[in-house]
Structure 1
Amino acid sequence: MLNNNSKQRRIALVGGVSWASSAEYYRRLNIILTDSDEPGLVAVDLNFKHVLEAQELNIFEKEMELVSDGISRAARAGGEIILVCSNTTSRTLNSVAHPDVEVISLIDCVSSHLDELKYTETLLLGTRYTMERDFYRSAMQRQDRKIRIPEGDDRKKIHGIIYDELCRGKILHTSKQWFREMLEFYTAKFTKLDSIILGCTELSLLGMPETVNQCAVIDTIAVHIDTALQVASIA
């Protein structure tokens, strides 16, 4: 809850990867901020096609340029706290320099969340790039923590649900049911699992429960927004 007597720094959203989850950020923030004295949100849009091409070809420099341009536009529009509304795209943020604004890395937020709650074995879900490349897992890895990912066919299925459905605004009952059953399978397979990262903001749109077989389901949009609201409030 924000303190209405404090000065609020303006939050900016760098979205469009995809529009569906970016709209969810905007919706949730506006619900929270309805009765606050916040100065209004800034939102800028990345070209989803261009970002996807850079991710598919693993052209890090191109993806970084696109994200950096979005952050620059958000800052020029008055944003002071910048949220890039994507797990996968957040891999670029350690290489992007914008000293005049505070960019809150979604990956760093999730890593801190795991540390704070002392989770020791987590299942990472997301795009194939997030699950299969090292950038996300290495950020979460600790000496006393295991990071699990689904089997190959399931990784492909999750990737398809994200890009072919959720990114296009389609939330199918059959996919929600399959996803829930998949979570049930892996919480049974990995008996010491204590957490599940919805490591793609679109996966938050599936409306999964907060826990599955006593494993915490981590909604990364919620974690990102909670951190931003804490940072944006100045006593």
Structure 2
Amino acid sequence: ATELKGHSHSVSGIQVSPDGGVACSCSYDKTVKFWDISGLNGRESQSLRGHKAPVMEMAWRDHTLVSGSRDGALILWDVLKGKPKKAVGAAHQGHITALALFDGRDDNLVLSGGQDGCLQVRDQRLQDCLFEKYHHRRDGGAGAIGAIRCTADGNVVTMGADKRICISDPRMSFEKVGAISSNKDFIYSMELMGDLVISGSGDGQVLVHDMRTGSCLYGLEGNQNAVRSLGVTDDFLVASGDDGNVISYPMA
């Protein structure tokens, strides 16, 4: 294993390029960093500074990088120059809690979720907020959006602190077309696997749902505490939690 040193505070997110040669990380030290991990000894290759608060989330693909911070701000980066290209202060009320890049029919979009329970849809230049959807607000309370995922058929799936998973259709102005309410505790992690949406919650349960019908197909047990992270491959699901265990499940 190689230890990469560079951040001065907690690391809040990591993404790795498809070829496995570059990693991108964001941190409570208010920076976003790129790392060359192509060799045996990884090294920091670039540090991006511009946020005024801890960086909580990021979405990165090719030369497009968007990051969101604890003060609700969004920054679109010029990765080649290492400088902010566009900043939106207080895009959300409270923390930025989720980010995703979406390939739309007419334009590429930036999707952001906040502590305020709002899903915002912006053009990739961050010029305009096209839609605001509060699918995770119920009974007057805000259910912070914990993750945003895009399906192969063009829908958007979000999970919230309201214990629900919501499915939105961009072709219907991101209106909600489905909701899953089987989780009995806060949802901490979510991933997609074909037509399946897999979620991990605070009670240690991993639930597998059919997105098309919303039905819970089965649950997976093993973690004793909150399931904080899920990872999927073509054949396996990996879950890790607060109990310190990492569990692999065959899904073929």
Q: Which has the larger share of strand?
A: 2
* Bigger relative contact order, structure 1 or 2 (CA pairs below 8 A, ≥6 apart): 1
Report the TM-score, using the length of structure 1 for normalisation.
Answer: 0.32
Q: Which has the larger share of helix?
A: 1
